[in-house]
Amino acid sequence: MTQVTIKDLALNLGLSTSTISRALRNHPDINIETKKLVRAAALKLGYEPNIVARNLKTKYSNQIGIIIPEIKHDFFSKAISGIEEVAYNAGFTVIVSQSNEDEEREKINTNALYLHRVAGFIVSLSQTTQNIDHFKILIEKGVKIVFFDRVWEEDDLYKVVIDDFKASKDAVSHLISKGNRRIVHLAGPQILQNCRGRFEGYKEALEEAGIPFDENLVLHGGMHEDDGLKSIKQLIAQNIEFDSIFAVNDPVAVGATLYLKKMGIEIPGKVSIVGFSNNPITEYMSPSLTTIEQPAYEMGKKAAEVLISLIKGEDGFPEKKITLETNLIEREST
């Protein structure tokens, strides 16, 4: 594992390390012939730059740290691909780190990447994150951070989001247009700004249609399948009547669907359902699920663009908040 260094090249060619360093990075001062010589020697001796040393010296890194709740969510894996696309083209490398929806892990991972001196962060908050001091401290130290999807509602943070309020309103209005009036909302953790937005959109759509808001139709739970399943089970056990469901995301909608099917309740005959995110499963399940298409890949790309522009300190600072469009995809469940 003995490494060939710039010094070896220097010795080999009878040049100084500074000349080698410059030649390798194609510095304009260096004679073309010298560059050729250096490159040839580098190849011959199997030289490989030590990025760790370079980073130490330059206090600069080309690694972007991604902090997300869980890789397995289709939304996040697509977003990662978007980030990678942009990052690689700009010469950056990407490190992914999952918080597993755990605030503590989020802090630990963030700190680990910070100590490794990543160039910047792209973050989507965990469900259990009560405050973002661990990010604010870094921001104060000059670390560049861009939040996406699960962001913190504060004006001076960079973020890439969708209009959850509007998307949710679209979803619920769609249910109303189909003649539904008793619309259940399976809400997510209200600490998450996007879940709050979706709840507000739900209320707004009802109000616009003149349907009175009924607290009993709103169930608060998590973001996973079993949350949806349990909520609907409870609702039915309580004999609360409803004709449709708007779930905070697709997994929750899937859970609800499973329980209804198990109970032999027809979808959409007896109950209509709308999800949120357009996970692949929504297309293949039976009945296929009406849902909101969230531009995951695009969100990732945008977040990376903003971050890189921040890292490069480009003038014409990017906007603090970027909002991308969503679409309602109508399928069999409504």
Partner DNA sequence: ATGAAAGCGCTAACAC
Partner DNA sequence: GTGTTAGCGCTTTCAT
Which of these ranges, 18-26, 125-133, 208-216, 280-288, lies near its own copies under the rule CB under 8 A? 280-288
Amino acid type, 278: N
Q: Which of 26, 43, 46, 59 binds DNA (CB under 7 A)?
A: 59
Site for DNA contains 312 (CB under 7 A)? no
Amino acid type, 163: D
Q: Least distance from C-beta 14 to DNA, angstroms?
A: 6
Nearest residue (CB) to its own copies, 1 versus 32:
1
Q: Which does 284 bind (CB under 5 to 8 A by kind): DNA, its own copies, none?
A: its own copies
Which of these ranges, 185-193, 198-206, 278-286, 297-305, lies near its own copies under the rule CB under 8 A? 278-286
Peptide bond into 268 cis (omega under 30): yes
Q: Least distance from C-beta 109 to DNA, angstroms?
A: 20
Site for its own copies contains 128 (CB under 8 A)? no
Q: Are 329 and 292 in contact (CB under 8 A)?
A: yes
Per-position x/- string for 2-41, each x denoting binding to DNA as judged by CB under 7 A, each - no binding: -x-xxx------xxxxxx-xxxxx---xxx-xx-------
Nearest residue (CB) to DNA, 3 versus 286:
3
Q: Least distance from C-beta 117 to its own copies, angstroms?
A: 5
Distance CA 202, CA 217 (A): 11
Q: Which of 11, 36, 44, 56 binds DNA (CB under 7 A)?
A: 56
Nearest residue (CB) to DNA, 117 versus 196:
117
Q: Are 236 and 208 in contact (CB under 8 A)?
A: no
Q: Which does 328 bind (CB under 5 to 8 A by kind): DNA, its own copies, none?
A: none
Distance CA 282, CA 290 (A): 8
Site for DNA contains 53 (CB under 7 A)? yes
DSSP result, 201-269? HHHHHHHHTTPPP-GGGEEE--SSHHHHHHHHHHHHHTT---SEEEESSHHHHHHHHHHHHHTT--TTT
Return left, alpha or beta for 210; rule: phi > 0 is left, psi -120 to 50 is alpha, else beta.
left
C-alpha closest to that of 332 among 280, 275, 272, 277: 272
Cα dist from 282 to 83, 189, 220, 254, 279, whole Å? 24, 22, 22, 8, 6
- Where on the chain is the footprint of its own copies (CB under 8 A)? 1, 48-53, 55-56, 61, 63, 70-72, 74, 77-78, 80-81, 84, 88, 93-98, 100, 108-109, 112-117, 141-143, 254, 258, 280-281, 284-286
